[in-house]
Each structure stands twice: as C-alpha cells, then as structure tokens.
Amino acid sequence: MLALYGILSSSWHMFLESSIYMLFGFFCAGLIYAYVKTEMIGQYLGKGKIKSVFLSALIGIPIPLCSCGVVPAAAGLKKQGANNGATLAFLISTPETGVDSIPITYALMDPLMAVIRPVVAFISAVTAGLIENFTGKNNSPANITHETPVNSCCNITASSKKLKSNHITSSKIFIGLKYAFIDLLGDIGKWFVLGIFIAGLISYYIPDNLIESYLGNNVLAMFVMLITGIPMYVCATSSTPIAAALILKGLNPGAALVFLLAGPATNIASLSMVYKILGKKALLIYLASISICALTFGFLTDLLYKGLKISSKSSIGETVGLIPIQLEVFAALILALLLMNAFWREYKAPAVCACKTADITVL
C-alpha cells in the first residue's frame, strides 16, 4: 500500500506540473485543426525534390499525431499528390513532436530541450525525405481524383474540405476545440496517463544511482534508449514524463533525446504500414535516418549541455515554478475532467475508426 501511494504521489506531482501546458498544447491543436487549409497539398508537396520535403517536414512539426495515427494521414498526403520524400518527411516530423508535446517538454524538462526536440525532428525528417527523393523514383500518383477517400475506414473525401470552408469563424473554433479536447484527447490521453504512471514507477522504484552505475557511459546509454524506443508504442506526449523521470535518475540528456525521437516516431505496427505504403527501401531510409540523426544529435546535445554547464537533472521542471500552485491545481482538475469525459465517450463508442486522427491533415 505504501508503494502504491509513493507511485501515485510521484505521478500526481508530474501530472500537476504538466497540466496547464497540456491544456495550452491541445488548445493550439484545436486552432490548427480549425484554420489550417490543406487544399493545395498536392501542388506544394508533389513538385520539387527539395522544397516539398522542407514544407512537409515543417507542416508536420505542430500536428499532434502519434506514430500510428500519422500513417493514414501520410497516406492521404500521398493520395493528394505528395512525392515519396515529402511523405517520408511528414511521417517522421509529425510523431516526433507537436504543439502538445513542446509545452510539456518545456514544463517537465527544460527550455533548451523544448527547442532541441522540434529542431532535430525537422532535421531528421528533411534528411530522410531528401535521401528518398534523390535516390529513388518519384512515385507520386499522376492522376488523383479528390473524391478518393484518404483511407478506406475513414472515408474522408474532398467534399469534407468544402464543408469545413463554409463554417463561420465561431463554428470553426468550436469544432476545433471539440476535436482537440474530445477526439484528440481521447486518442492520446490514455498514453499520456500511462506515461505519467510509468514515470511514477521509475521515480519510486529506480534508485538514484542505478542508471549512473549501469548506463554511466553516455554512448552506451544512447544505444540502449534507441533499441528500447524503436519497437515501443509511445507518443510524443507520453514519452516526455518518462524521459524526465529517467533524467532525474541520472540519464544523460543526449540519451533522453534519443528516446524522445525514436520512441514516438517508430513502433512495430507503424513500421509495417510504412513498408506497405512506401516500400522496403523507404522503410530502411526511415529507420536509418531516425537512428543516425537521433544518435548524432544526442551526442551533440550532451556536448551542448556540458559546454553551457547546464545540469539536466537540476534543471528538470525549473520552469514550473513560474506558475502559481493554485493555477496548477485548477488546470490539473480541468484536465482530469476532460480526460474522464474523453475516456467515457471512447468507451461508449468503441467502434470508432482507429485512424480518426488522420482528418487533421486532410480536412
């Protein structure tokens, strides 16, 4: 009983620190859903081997989709005319970061990691996309009818885009916030809660000197995090409290960055879907780019922290002190109520298509 109290206490502390940033992130996600127009995706992402990749990687940075949810969205991009490199770039930049994960990285880790994470995600995505476009054939579909559904189970067509464009401003905001705080929260909320709970387990059970004893070698720690992260299903949001808890136990920031990049971008299910959509060569580029960029920038991140004389352990959660405790508690209660509402709605409608989050890109 004492152990359970200790785990829940650690989890609650992390939930309290992150709630207001989570709410802000989901609010931004709702605005993106409501106002980002993607009617010209085929035009901008289907032409040019370089520009299309940069645009696709940039578009993916703020969108909050996990490694499985991004695959049907990427399939939609390809159906709308995006070339293989642009599709691959979107597949990498989108799950590695998002408007929901950047604020929570700022809250639970530190401002430096909150900047490094999306920058490295962008570089990784651009690297993979350029390699694919310059070493492979352009397999973007030549004739695409905009009435073709993005995914057979989602049944989203271009007519949806027309419907969205006719909404008045207040309606758009309402629809965007409904998507963010009900649909999206229901989709990734359970993984966030799981991540918070795992962080509580790590904080309670792992001795402070365990990681330093067995993973004291920074390079070895990065490889362990890479091997651990690739097959694991963890979204960008839920990976953050886990990484923060590991840093508090002595993990170097470079290894934490490797986990934050490799974990959300890949898992066994998404790898098989990438192979089906883009082929074996693109899958190898996808894995190699994520792995090499994660390890390279993990090493550079360690050098940066050392050069700036920043202790990643002591800087964890420093920014949270800027928020009054009363506001933190209020935000935590609001987020808890929203999570319960989202979970209840999902429980009442278990047959909802798993790729429902794809519509953030194609509507």
- What are the pLDDT digits (tens) for 311-330? 877 666 555 556 788 888 99
**18 near 100, Cβ under 8 Å?**
no
What value does the mean pLDDT take over residues 214-218?
Answer: 79
**123 near 97, Cβ under 8 Å?**
no
Tokens of 100: 């929901």
Query: Quick one: pLDDT at residue 315?
Result: 66
**147 near 157, Cβ under 8 Å?**
yes
What value does the mean pLDDT take over residues 257-264?
Answer: 92
Query: Quick one: pLDDT at residue 199?
Result: 80
Q: What is the span of the domain harbouring residue 194?
A: 2-362
The angle at the Cα of 102, spanning 55 to 295, to the nearest 5 degrees, equals 75
Helix 280-307 × helix 218-229 angle, to 10°? 140
> For the chain, how far is it from start to end, CA to CA, in angstroms?
49
* Integer angstrom CA distances of residue 340 from 180, 182, 185, 347: 14, 10, 10, 10
**111 near 34, Cβ under 8 Å?**
no
**184 near 357, Cβ under 8 Å?**
yes
Q: How far, in Å, CA of 199 to CA of 242, rounded?
A: 5
Tokens of 348: 């009442």
Nearest to 241 by CA among 269, 210, 264: 264
Quote the pTM value: 0.75
**Domain total of the chain:** 1
Query: Quick one: pLDDT at residue 363?
Result: 37
Confidence bin at 260 (pLDDT 50/70/90) = very high
Tokens of 331: 């935000």
Query: Quick one: pLDDT at residue 39?
Result: 53
Average pLDDT, the chain: 78
Tokens of 57: 């990687």
Tokens of 93: 């930049």
Q: How far, in Å, CA of 277 to CA of 290, rounded?
A: 18
Find the DSSP H helices in the chain: 2-35, 41-45, 51-60, 70-79, 84-96, 101-108, 111-135, 158-165, 169-178, 185-205, 210-214, 218-229, 236-248, 253-265, 268-278, 280-307, 312-315, 325-348, 359-362
Query: Quick one: pLDDT at residue 59?
Result: 87
What value does the mean pLDDT take over residues 235-243?
Answer: 85
Tokens of 250: 């002595």
What value does the mean pLDDT take over residues 83-101?
Answer: 89
- The distance from CA 317 to its chain's CA centroid, rounded to whole angstroms, is 20
DSSP type of residue 109: T
The number of residues making up the chain comes to 363
**21 near 344, Cβ under 8 Å?**
no
Q: How far, in Å, CA of 103 to CA of 181, rounded?
A: 16
Inform me whether the pLDDT recorded for 157 exceeds 60.
no
* Integer angstrom CA distances of residue 60 from 63, 64, 158, 211, 316: 5, 8, 20, 33, 27
Q: How far, in Å, CA of 289 to CA of 268, rounded?
A: 17
* Integer angstrom CA distances of residue 119 from 298, 302, 308: 12, 16, 18
